[in-house]
């Protein structure tokens, strides 16, 4: 048995391992929303690994195999993004709007049978760029919310992002060097990465179990009370203008555990903490732009006054919530 066949078998085992983990996570979808997207991410990786394994074992494989690999590749990015967003938000729900992010993959399923070799290459280039876009978006989200995660959570998300980026580099390498070695590198890197993540995360079961929820009537009243207190701090004291504001800051201010503050934000406002901050900060920024008192204040100045220490983060949040840039909003 040659080395290529051995690597293909090893990768096939990694593929089965991915599907096993995905199946385990599917069973806990109702308990933890992020499990759905992590299972989808693992399934997409498994599909992409399957393509490389079959190409190695069956050099004259039919065109449908690379096509399936492209669909898996196009699914990895959105699944990673939604997993990152739902990671600490127990109220996060998968809606029909999420499907729009998977439309490119669905389009590929329909059109790929009609693609020639050149069109397949173009589709592969688009898929690699598509995945990179979601990786950078996910990394940016984690960086902005980094202080809101615990030590283990930070390490897990950092390892996951690094692993997916490493896998992406092998896909990118295939654009530059189309050879058997690059196909083999995809299976090797993806397989080792998945096994490595599994070994590390297997000892941190708390990352994949249901967060502590509040069931008693007394505790539910506490959530309502803490939610009211947080709302007061946001609306009356405008604590969102503090660029260093975190869940820990509020928990210390209210003398409440961090998990109570986090649960109260999710249950009371129906938003994650970063989403809540962006909402109030952009609302405040909009009022400053509309006010004649601050008409001489620059866009950058408005960003800092609203609690942002990054202009790019301010522009991105403003565009997401208002649909226009701060400059366009000011003109209107």
> Tens digit of pLDDT for each residue in 266-306?
888 888 888 899 999 999 999 999 888 877 888 899 999 99
pLDDT at 279: 92
Query: Residue 59 and residue 48: Cα distance in Å, rounded?
Result: 16
pTM score: 0.61
| Residue 186 to residue 194: CA distance in whole angstroms | 12
Give me the CATH number covering residue 283.
1.10.10.60
Domain boundary among 178, 208, 238: 208
| Domain termination site, one of 208, 226, 250 | 208
pLDDT band at residue 2 under the 50/70/90 scheme = low
Q: What is the CA radius of gyration of the chain?
A: 23
110-117 CB contacts, 8 Å cutoff, 24+ apart: 112/67, 112/70, 112/71, 113/64, 113/67, 115/67
Q: What is the separation, in whole angstroms, between the first and last Cα of the chain?
A: 70
Tell whether 114 and 242 lie within a shared domain.
no
* Helix (H), strand (E) at residue 77: helix 64-86
3-state DSSP call for residue 129? helix
262 and 137 in a common domain: no
Q: Are residues 140 and 232 in the same domain?
A: no
116-156 pLDDT, tens per residue?
Answer: 878 888 888 999 999 999 999 999 988 887 766 777 888 88
Both 184 and 58 in one domain: the answer is yes
Same domain (yes/no): 263, 140: no
The Cα 309–Cα 64 span in angstroms is 49
* Span 10-46, pLDDT tens digits: 556 665 656 555 555 555 545 566 778 888 888 888 7
Give the mean pLDDT of 300-314: 91
> In the chain, how many domains are there?
2
**CA-to-CA distance for 225 and 150, rounded, in angstroms?**
25
The predicted-structure confidence for 206-261, as pLDDT tens digits, reads as follows 666 555 544 444 556 777 888 899 999 999 999 999 988 998 889 889 988 887 88
Q: Are the C-beta atoms of residues 239 and 233 closer than 8 Å to each other?
A: yes
My answer on whether 199 and 221 are in the same domain is no
Instruction: Kindly state the tokens that stand for 308.
Output: 């942002």
Q: Are both 65 and 161 inside the same structural domain? A: yes
Residue 208: phi and psi, rounded to 5, are: -120, 10
Exposed / middle / buried, residue 2 (Cβ in 10 Å: 0-12, 13-18, 19+): exposed
**pLDDT, position 98:** 81
Per DSSP, the chain holds a count of helices (H) and strands (E) of: 15, 0
Structural domain span for residue 42: 3-208
Write the pLDDT tens digit of every residue in 164-215.
999 899 888 888 877 666 666 767 777 777 777 777 766 665 666 555 544 4
Express as a percent the part of the chain with pLDDT over 70.
74
């Amino acid at each position: 048995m040659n080395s290529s066949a051995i690597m293909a078998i090893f990768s096939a085992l990694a593929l089965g391992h991915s599907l096993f983990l995905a199946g385990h996570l599917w069973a806990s979808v109702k308990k933890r929303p992020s499990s759905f997207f992590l299972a989808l991410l693992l399934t997409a990786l498994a599909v992409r690994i399957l393509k490389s394994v079959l190409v190695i074992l069956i050099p004259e494989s039919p065109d449908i195999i690379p096509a399936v690999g492209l669909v898996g590749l196009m699914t990895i990015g959105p699944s990673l993004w939604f997993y990152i967003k739902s990671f600490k938000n127990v109220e996060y729900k998968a809606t029909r709007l999420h499907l729009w992010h998977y439309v490119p993959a669905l389009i590929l399923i329909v059109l790929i049978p009609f693609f020639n070799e050149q069109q397949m290459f173009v589709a592969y280039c688009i898929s690699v760029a598509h995945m990179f876009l979601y990786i950078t978006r996910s990394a940016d989200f984690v960086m902005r919310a980094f202080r809101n995660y615990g030590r283990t959570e930070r390490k897990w998300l950092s390892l996951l992002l690094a692993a997916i980026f490493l896998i992406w580099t092998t896909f990118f390498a295939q654009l530059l060097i189309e050879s058997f070695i690059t196909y083999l590198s995809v299976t090797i890197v993806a397989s080792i990465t998945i096994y490595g993540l599994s070994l590390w995360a297997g000892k941190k079961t708390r990352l994949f179990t249901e967060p502590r929820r509040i069931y008693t009537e007394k505790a539910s009243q506490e959530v309502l009370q803490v939610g009211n207190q947080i709302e007061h701090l946001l609306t009356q004291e405008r604590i969102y203008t503090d660029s260093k504001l975190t869940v820990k800051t509020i928990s210390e201010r209210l003398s409440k555990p961090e998990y109570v503050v986090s649960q109260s934000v999710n249950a009371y406002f129906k938003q994650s903490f970063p989403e809540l901050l962006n909402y109030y900060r952009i609302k405040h920024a909009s009022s400053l732009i509309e006010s004649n008192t601050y008409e001489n204040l620059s866009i950058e100045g408005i960003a800092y006054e609203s609690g942002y220490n990054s202009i790019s983060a301010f522009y991105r949040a403003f565009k997401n919530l208002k649909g226009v840039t701060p400059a366009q909003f000011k003109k209107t």
